[in-house]
């Protein structure tokens, strides 16, 4: 069956950052699934900082492949 998104599961949020002028840097931030949005995608909370990604209407989509999939603003299971 594979991996299924569930509340309180640990995931990694892929966040775009600019580091040393490089705008393509992607930071991996540990997060926890706190719930689901109306579109059935998870909402995430980055641990310790309390930042929340996703809202009541639209959540964060899971990164499922290495090509043809957005690199940032996605989450991956670990």
pLDDT at 25: 85
pLDDT along the chain (78 residues), means of 10: 87 90 87 95 88 92 73 82
Torsion, Cα 62 29 73 34, to 10 degrees, reads: 60
pLDDT at 10: 94
**What's the Cα-to-Cα distance from 51 to each of 15, 44, 54, rounded to whole Å?**
12, 8, 10
pLDDT at 65: 76
Residue corresponding to tokens 């689901």: 36
Gap between the Cα atoms of 14 and 25, Å rounded: 10
pLDDT at 67: 64
pLDDT at 37: 95
pLDDT at 68: 56
């Amino acid at each position: 069956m594979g991996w299924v998104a569930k509340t309180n599961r640990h995931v990694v949020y892929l966040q775009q950052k600019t580091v040393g002028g490089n705008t393509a840097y992607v930071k991996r931030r540990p997060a926890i699934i706190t719930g689901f949005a109306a579109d059935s995608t998870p909402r995430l909370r980055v641990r310790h900082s309390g930042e929340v990604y996703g809202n009541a209407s639209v959540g964060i989509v899971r990164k499922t492949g290495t090509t043809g999939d957005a690199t940032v603003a996605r989450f991956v299971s670990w």
